[in-house]
Amino acid sequence: MHFDVFNGDADGIIALVQLRLAQPKESTLITGVKRDISLLKQVDVTAANSITVLDISLEKNVEALKLHLENNTEVFYIDHHRAGDIPRSEHLTTLINTDANTCTSLLVNNYLKGAYVHWAVAAAFGDNMTQSAITLAESVGLSKGQQEQLKALGIYINYNGYGRDVDDLHFHPADLYKALLAYADPLTLIEEEGSIFHQLEKAYQADMQKALTAKVLADSKISKVVQLEDAPWARRVSGVFGNDLANQSPDKAHAVITLNADNTYTVSVRAPLTNKQGADEVCIQFPTGGGRAGAAGINNLPQDMLFNFIETLNEYYKS
């Protein structure tokens, strides 16, 4: 039995769309909300003959990975997050690049030699790799209008991945993946009246309008930290709103705070776009923190550590 394990955001979903358009395969899908990254442990060690893992940190899944490799399961691991120490095994193939200007879908695009490059462009935009997306789009002759369409699609798919659990989402990531797989070219999806693109567009615009009321906890020349209310709409926009703030003020670091059911905070961090490093270094200083250089987060920040977090964020980027 084959398992496809993938992040429920734009990058993870679109990476798998590209891969399965090029290499169709019957598989069991393992995914979840964007922050649910400890996914590999959900795969039954006794059931898997092979696994493809996309867009989840190897460092956060290394113990489960070792168990599968010890069982002689063939694993293909593609990612751009912190990897830590990569196990050595003849059963493991990796395509990992933690450069701040790449993402898993761009790695898959290179692996497939651009077979579904329009999808890769959408994913890069969705992961806020704007310049990388533009560079790739221009290299294949996409017009400015087409780039804007693919940018919107990437953002909407990414937006759908954020939530406390899948009940917060408009579409379960596995269902969204299956729907997108029907389109070899995302521009066809965008042109289709009433498609998922248009459904997500309407929902995204409604939620982002509410985000304009965000409470500002701290604002300086170094960083801006805002807090959203404890509501499904707020959890849905926490990541894309952070990207939006980063694009508006590219010299600042940004953090979006939302309250969890256990009275801890979810924190979504964006490094300054002019200095795309360190977001993961800031977040791993706190329990449940992780991510990548340009964008990272903390799943459950204790309330009494909030202002310590803000100080740490400012201290890191002050020089």
- What range does the domain containing 48 cover? 2-201
* 282: in domain: yes
- pTM of the entire structure? 0.88
Q: What is the pLDDT of residues 78-107, one digit of tens each?
A: 999 989 999 999 999 999 999 989 999 999
Both 147 and 64 in one domain: the answer is yes
Q: What is the pLDDT of residues 18-50, one digit of tens each?
A: 999 999 999 999 999 998 889 999 999 999 999
* 283: in domain: yes
Both 107 and 251 in one domain: the answer is no
Name the residue among 37, 33, 65, 61 with its Cα closest to residue 51.
65
- Other CB atoms within a 10 A radius of the CB of residue 262 amount to 8
Both 125 and 261 in one domain: the answer is no
User: What is the overall mean pLDDT for the chain?
Assistant: 95
Task: Report whether pLDDT(307) > 80.
Answer: yes
Both 124 and 271 in one domain: the answer is no
Task: Report whether pLDDT(292) > 90.
Answer: no
Residue 129 belongs to a domain with what CATH number? 3.90.1640
Give the list of residues 6+ apart from residue 315 with CB closer than 8 angstroms, or none: none
Both 219 and 72 in one domain: the answer is no
Q: What pLDDT is recorded for position 169?
A: 96
Q: Give the tokens for residue 283.
A: 């977040």
Q: Give the tokens for residue 111.
A: 């692996």
* 207: in domain: no
Both 270 and 185 in one domain: the answer is no
Q: What is the pLDDT of residues 164-210, one digit of tens each?
A: 899 999 999 999 999 999 999 999 999 999 999 999 999 999 999 99
Both 87 and 12 in one domain: the answer is yes
Q: What is the pLDDT of residues 234-256, one digit of tens each?
A: 999 988 999 999 999 999 999 99
Q: What pLDDT is recorded for position 83?
A: 92
Residue that finishes a domain, picked among 146, 169, 201: 201
One-letter identity of residue 166: V
Cα 160 to Cα 9: distance, rounded to the nearest angstrom = 7
* 103: in domain: yes
Query: Which residues are bridge partners to 227 per DSSP?
Result: 215, 257
CB-CB contact of 315 with 223 (8 Å)? no
Q: What is the pLDDT of residues 99-138, one digit of tens each?
A: 989 999 999 999 999 999 999 999 999 999 999 999 999 9
Both 87 and 232 in one domain: the answer is no
3-state secondary structure the chain: CEEEEECCCHHHHHHHHHHHHHCCCCCEEECCCCCCCCCHHHCCCCCCCEEEEECCCHHHHHHHHHHHHHCCCEEEEEECCCCCCCCCCCCEEEEECCCCCCCHHHHHHHHCCCCCHHHHHHHHHHCCCHHHHHHHHHHCCCCHHHHHHHHHHHHHHHHHCCCCCHHHCCCCHHHHHHHHCCCCCHHHHHHCCCCHHHHHHHHHHHHHHHHCCCEEEEECCCEEEEEECCCHHHHHHHHHHHHHHHHHCCCCEEEEEEECCCCCEEEEEECCCCCCCCHHHHHCCCCCEEECCCEEEEEEECHHHHHHHHHHHHHHHCC
* 128: in domain: yes
Quick one: angle between helices 173-180 and 196-211, nearest 10? Answer: 140
Q: What pLDDT is recorded for position 82?
A: 87
Both 80 and 180 in one domain: the answer is yes
* 109: in domain: yes
CB environment 81-104: b (16+ within 10 A), e (fewer):
bbbeeebebeebeeebbeebbbbb
* 206: in domain: no
Domain total in the chain: 2
Residue that finishes a domain, picked among 151, 177, 201: 201
Both 108 and 247 in one domain: the answer is no
Query: Which residues are bridge partners to 266 per DSSP?
Result: 258
Q: What pLDDT is recorded for position 239?
A: 86
Residue that finishes a domain, picked among 178, 201, 224: 201
Task: Report whether pLDDT(319) > 80.
Answer: no
CB-CB contact of 6 with 53 (8 Å)? yes
* 20: in domain: yes
Task: Report whether pLDDT(261) > 80.
Answer: yes
Both 78 and 106 in one domain: the answer is yes
Cα 251 to Cα 222: distance, rounded to the nearest angstrom = 8
Both 147 and 8 in one domain: the answer is yes
- Other CB atoms within a 10 A radius of the CB of residue 66 amount to 13
Residue 298 belongs to a domain with what CATH number? 3.10.310.30
